[in-house]
Amino acid sequence: MSENNIGKTVHLTRKTMETREKLLNAAEKVFGKKGYFETSVVNITQEAGVGQGTFYNYFLSKKEIFDALIHEYSRQLRKTIKEEMKNSATHEEAQKKGFLSFFNWVKKHPDLYSIVQQAVVVDQELYRWYYGKLASGFLKSLSAGVEDGEFKNTHLETVAYCLMSIGQFLGMRWVFWEGKDVPDDVFNAAMELIFNGIKNV
């Protein structure tokens, strides 16, 4: 699924870009609160304060704007994490910064986080695409750590998905459900598990 084939092609003047952003922001709120199946195009346009005709100038359907939100979320999240991980002294430090960046993102975008979770029943291909993109980023950073001798040369795709699951459920438990930051002792315990394991030797 291409990230570039979302929505009709429109001449992106400043005004049209602002309208598209308004529709995406409205869809984020409505999908986040009502869920995909209970949301209608009318709900989105009412939230955005535009007519239905305007909606169809940008998106062909409710499903297409849903897809667009997940693609936008994926791009922005990966870019933010990459920026936060730059200039780290070690690969371990970079991974820790990446986790913190993800938790901060979830706190700022809880509706988008909810929308990604909805994708598992709305469109499994899209759901797999989203996590595949995240895994690809993990694989690159883990491979760099292996090349520099900091990380073990093990099955890195397995490691990537394990790390994603840790981030996913810590973010769900503390940030999404409770609207809090991940507590320091929780974060430190998770990092201890990741980088030192649980075996008492």
Which domain CATH number covers 125? 1.10.357.10
Would you say residue 26 lies in a domain?
no
Q: What is the mean pLDDT of the chain?
A: 92
Q: What is the pLDDT of residue 48?
A: 98
Instruction: Kindly report each contact of residues 72-76 with a partner whose C-beta sits within 8 Å and lies 24 or more positions away, as own/partner.
Output: 72/24, 73/109, 73/112, 73/115, 73/116, 73/130, 74/3, 74/130, 74/133, 74/134, 75/3
Domain count for the chain, please give it: 1
Instruction: State the Cα angle at 77 between 164 and 48, rounded to 5°.
Output: 125
In-domain check, residue 41 = no
Tens of pLDDT, residues 112-168: 999 999 999 999 999 999 999 999 999 999 999 999 999 999 999 999 999 999 999
Across the chain, which has 201 residues, the per-10-residue mean pLDDT values are 47 82 96 97 98 95 97 95 96 97 95 93 97 96 97 96 96 95 97 89 62
* Rounded Cα gap, residues 96 and 102, in angstroms: 10
What are the tokens at 194? Answer: 């990741």
Residue 31 lies in a domain: no
User: Is 152 inside a domain boundary?
Assistant: yes
The predicted pLDDT at position 12 comes to 63
pTM of the entire predicted model: 0.88
In a domain, 55, yes or no: no
51, part of any domain = no
Domain-located, residue 126: yes
Nearest CA to 28 out of 125, 134, 103, 109 is that of 109
- 44 domain-assigned: no
Which range of residues forms the domain containing residue 119?
Answer: 63-196
pLDDT of residue 200: 75
